[in-house]
Chains A and B, each alone.
Chain A
Amino acid sequence: MRYSPTLVDHFLNPRNAGLMREPDSVGENEYEGCGDLTRFFLRVRDGRAVEIRFQTYGCGPTIAAASMASELYRGRLVGDLCRLEAGEIERALEGLPDDRKHAADIAAGALRAAAFQYQARQG
Chain B
Amino acid sequence: MSRRVYLDHNASTPVHPEVLAAMLPYFAEVYGNPSSIHAFGREAREGMDLARERVASFLKVSSQEIVFTSGGTESDNFAVKGLAWARGKGHLITSQVEHHAVIRACRALEAQGFDLTCVGVDEFGMVDPDDVRRAIRPDTVAISIMHANSEVGTIQPIEAIGRIAREHGIPLHVDAVQTFGKLPLDVDALGIDALSFSAHKIYGPKGVAGLFIRKGSKMVAVQHGGEHERRRRAGTENVAGIVGLGKAVEIRARDMHTEAERVTALRDRLWDGVRSRVPEVRLSGHPGHRLPGTASFLFRHVESESIVLGLDLKGIGVSAGSACTSGNVEPSHVLVAMGVPLEWAMGAVRCSLGRSTSAEDIDYVIECVEPLVRKLRQAMPVGVV
Contact = CB atoms under 8 A, between A and B. Distances in A.
B329 A34 contact: yes
A89 to B, nearest CB: 15
Nearest to B326: A99
A83 to B, nearest CB: 23
A63 B309 CA distance: 12
Contact of B379 (A14, A98, A102): A14
Interface stretch (A43-51, A53-61, A73-81, A112-120): A53-61
A35 B346 contact: yes
Contacts of A39: 381
Contacts of B328: 33-34
A87 interface: no
Interface string B285-325: 00000000000000001010110011001000000000011
Nearest to A16: B379
Interface residues of A, number: 30
Interface residues of B, number: 23
Contacts of A98: 326
A60 to B, nearest CB: 4
A31 B380 contact: no
B112 interface: no
Interface in B322-337: 324-329
Contact of B306 (A33, A37, A60): A60
A33 B64 CA distance: 49
Interface string A12-51: 1010011000000000000111111101000000000000
Given A59-B306, A60-B305, A102 B381 contact: no
A96 to B, nearest CB: 12
A87 B385 CA distance: 27
Given A57-B381, A63-B376, A36 B329 contact: yes
Interface of A: 3, 8, 11-12, 14, 17-18, 31-37, 39, 54-60, 62-63, 66, 98-99, 101-102, 105
Interface of B: 301, 303, 305-306, 309-310, 313, 324-329, 342, 346, 375-376, 378-381, 384-385
7 nearest A-B pairs in the assembled complex, by CB-CB distance: A102-B327, A60-B309, A55-B381, A17-B379, A59-B305, A34-B327, A57-B384
